[in-house]
Chain A
């Protein structure tokens, strides 16, 4: 069913259904946050691969739509190149390869002890994403090619949602309290923060220690307030690392949510084989 083709009230029903289907995503992340440190190596690998596979579904469909849009503008419909390049297993493998590190980053972030703002933000974001997609679906109804319109609406919704979530979590991060590394050397700060991590899985522990060291680096750089002690460029770079990591976490989560929506509406959102 294409957007807008249902009965009156169908859009609201679809939005509510989408929101309900999306709720398991933050719930699983909350569970991972609480019990992830108890997982074994195998369970960690399974969790990362599972999350990556879920992300791949959405990423692959969006990649396919992007490829089709390009092909529609660049190639004739009867060209055999069109069939060869329209996107298949190759795009899926690429999507999976991108999804695996994103899934690992997301898992490590939620397992590491953080304040509640991140998880609360992820929970509250569920209706926001669906409402944004609905909004863009309506706005694009008169402009986009129908077979590409749902995924284009999803893309726009994801972009706007990413900015919103990034902004909200960035503001929340400003009000968080951080360890005081003012009296420590950079190495000491990184080792101290890495040493606080605990996990059953050696693999997960290593990833968590890497993430902790990265955070310690950012916090330590941010706390060097003495003039001349640190060049502003390095501080900016440190904050950029922190923000980039946050951006990857947010993007990973949005990819998971978009993948759930993609799987839910696969038949109606897939552009089909027509040229």
Chain B
């Protein structure tokens, strides 16, 4: 015998010996516990699925796939809902605050007008005397920039839009989930009268309701109640109040504005006094002349100074309001997003809980 002939013989014998030992081991294991055979031969336990009056018979693997599918749908659906809400809020707040920004020049026009000047002075005097304790400047800003109640109405409209969008989204999720479910159960899994009895009956109606937003987490109801209660406007109110608490005049130029006001008063008084002096030659009509000329000179000086003031500070006032609106918008968007994220997370947890509850017969807890 040659060495070349011996090697294949040795390899063949070694292979056969290994194969023999392996099969003997398997057979010994099967002989000790014949239930091992059941893994390959015993019929898989079946489950009856009921959904909207339809009944399906599925095996354990399909039921497990349903669990994964429903959990995935819960995660995906909530993530998409959050994204949709964020995008919608951003777009709508862009529109609202674009309109607010467009009204700031109108407010500046009023602010630097004689009417505005004297109204402010009047309110300042009234505030000093006592009967007027409101912030007149903020009231005018609310009226001119926020268009009185329109801002709150538009926030409520945004909330209604979000509610509608989430309702549509939940229905889409429910439809997609049911379509996926039918793809899983349809081929050959229709309920049959024959065959072994199902291990358990799983009703998916509650889960379908939860995915559709009408389950135990009451997702859409909560969102809807929030809209009905003008929730966004309510959330915006404290932010607006904080913004209103800051003196509007101080925003324009801070301490320089106060100095400017004092200087303007001195200039007006000087101009009016100088003009009234010219009436001394008018004799008995001097007083009336002085009042008329002095008043006219006062107003003219005031108008000139206001024009100068507007020329110097209008852009600063507008920029200050843009900054305030930008901050307001950021805070509002953050608060609204957080509010909706909380509701959506509760929805997701509701779906997860419902998935776990619905499919709990798949994983019976062992007692003891």
Determine whether A225 belongs to the interface, using a CB cutoff of 8 Å to chain B.
no
Number of interface residues of B (CB under 8 A): 23
Partner of A12, one of B13, B27, B41: B13
| CB atoms of B20 and A16 under 8 A apart | yes
| CB atoms of B17 and A122 under 8 A apart | no
Please list the residues of chain B having a beta carbon within 8 angstroms of any beta carbon in chain A: 1, 5-6, 9-10, 12-13, 16-17, 19-20, 23-24, 27-28, 30-34, 37-38, 41
Can you pick out 27 interface pairs between chain A and chain B where the beta carbons lie within 8 Å of each other?
A7-B1, A7-B9, A9-B9, A9-B13, A13-B9, A13-B16, A16-B13, A16-B16, A16-B17, A17-B16, A23-B20, A23-B23, A30-B27, A30-B34, A31-B37, A34-B37, A116-B31, A116-B33, A119-B30, A119-B31, A119-B32, A120-B28, A120-B32, A123-B24, A123-B27, A123-B31, A127-B20
Please list the residues of chain A having a beta carbon within 8 angstroms of any beta carbon in chain B: 7-9, 12-13, 16-17, 19-20, 23, 26-27, 30-31, 33-35, 116, 119-120, 122-124, 126-127
Task: Say how far A26's CB is from chain B's closest CB, in angstroms.
Answer: 6
Task: Say how far A182's CB is from chain B's closest CB, in angstroms.
Answer: 30
CA distance A172 to B28 in the complex (A): 16
Partner of A124, one of B6, B10, B24, B34: B24
Other contacts beyond A30-B34, A35-B41, A116-B32: 10, CB < 8 A: A7-B9, A9-B6, A16-B20, A23-B24, A26-B27, A30-B31, A34-B38, A120-B31, A123-B28, A127-B24
CA distance A26 to B9 in the complex (A): 28
Which residue of chain A is the closest to B41 with respect to CB atoms? A35
Which residue of chain B is the closest to A121 with respect to CB atoms? B31
Number of A-B contacts (CB under 8 A): 64
Task: Say how far B323's CB is from chain A's closest CB, in angstroms.
Answer: 81
SS of B interface (majority):
helix
Task: Say how far B39's CB is from chain A's closest CB, in angstroms.
Answer: 12
CA distance A222 to B19 in the complex (A): 43
Set of chain A residues within 8 Å of B9, measured between Cβ atoms: 7, 9, 13
CA distance A126 to B24 in the complex (A): 9
Task: Say how far B182's CB is from chain A's closest CB, in angstroms.
Answer: 35
**Residue in B17, B27, B38 with the greatest tally of chain A CB atoms within 10 Å:** B27
Q: Provided the pairs A33-B34, A35-B41, A120-B32 are in contact, do residues A27 and B27 lie with their beta carbons within 8 angstroms? A: yes
CA distance A17 to B9 in the complex (A): 13
CA distance A33 to B41 in the complex (A): 14
Set of chain B residues within 8 Å of A119, measured between Cβ atoms: 30-32, 34
7 smallest beta-carbon distances between A and B, as pairs: A119-B31, A16-B16, A34-B34, A123-B27, A116-B32, A120-B31, A9-B9
Set of chain A residues within 8 Å of B28, measured between Cβ atoms: 120, 123-124
